[in-house]
């Protein structure tokens, strides 16, 4: 059994060694674009959720004959920042692709950095949108009270996006 396992590992190593560099570059670049795509998806969902809550709150304010609150725009727009954070990571990853040797040698790491960045930013933006939506409903029902607390709650989840960016930037191999 051990001999069979060793032979399989040897066979796998031979296959991986024979894989053309273009495949490894493709794998590495997949991580690059995945980071931005997943972050943009999360930002879109977060903005959409908060935007729906804002539209409902504006309708409620209009029915009551009150001025429409501009404050909601701030909460709707906050999840966009995670797309920017992913773009910063993506641009730093792109600098590695100029060196084919490093790209091929670190393809798995680059794919992992892209996936981790994408997931971290996507979930941070999505959750920020959910907090923003709840905050908009709270502001609407509470006649504008509690805005600072909502910003703090959204800032805490924003910190997750910032940490994701900073930690993943540190994982990118230097060329």
Question: pLDDT digits over 111-146, tens only?
Answer: 999 999 999 999 999 999 999 999 999 999 987 789
Where b means 16+ CB within 10 Å and e means fewer, 111-150 reads: bebbbbbbbbbbbbbbbbbbbbbbbbebbbeeeeeebeeb
Q: What percent of the chain has pLDDT over 70?
A: 90
For the whole model, what pTM was predicted?
0.85
pLDDT tens digits, residue range 32-65? 999 999 999 999 999 999 999 999 999 999 999 9
CATH assignment of 21-171, among 3.30.110.60, 3.90.45.10, 1.20.120.610, 3.30.200.20: 1.20.120.610
The predicted structure's pLDDT at residue 10: 63
Q: Alpha-carbon distance 111 to 32, whole Å?
A: 7
Q: Which residue has the higher pLDDT, 10 or 6?
A: 10
pLDDT at position 136: 96
């Amino acid at each position: 059994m051990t001999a069979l396992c060793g032979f399989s590992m040897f066979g796998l190593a031979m296959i991986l060694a024979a894989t053309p560099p273009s495949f490894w570059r493709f794998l590495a670049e997949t991580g690059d674009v995945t980071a931005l795509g997943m972050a943009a998806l999360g930002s879109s969902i977060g903005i959409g959720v908060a935007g729906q809550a804002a539209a409902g709150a504006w309708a409620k304010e209009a029915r009551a004959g009150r001025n429409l609150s501009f404050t909601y725009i701030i909460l709707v727009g906050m999840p966009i920042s995670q797309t920017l954070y992913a773009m910063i990571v993506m641009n730093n990853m792109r600098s590695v692709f100029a060196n084919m040797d490093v790209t091929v040698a670190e393809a798995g790491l680059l794919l992992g950095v892209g996936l981790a960045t994408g997931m971290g930013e996507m979930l941070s933006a999505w959750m920020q949108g959910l907090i923003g939506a709840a905050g908009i409903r709270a502001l609407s029902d509470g006649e504008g009270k509690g805005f600072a607390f909502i910003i703090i709650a959204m800032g805490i989840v924003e910190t997750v996006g910032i940490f994701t960016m900073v930690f993943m930037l540190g994982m990118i191999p230097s060329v």
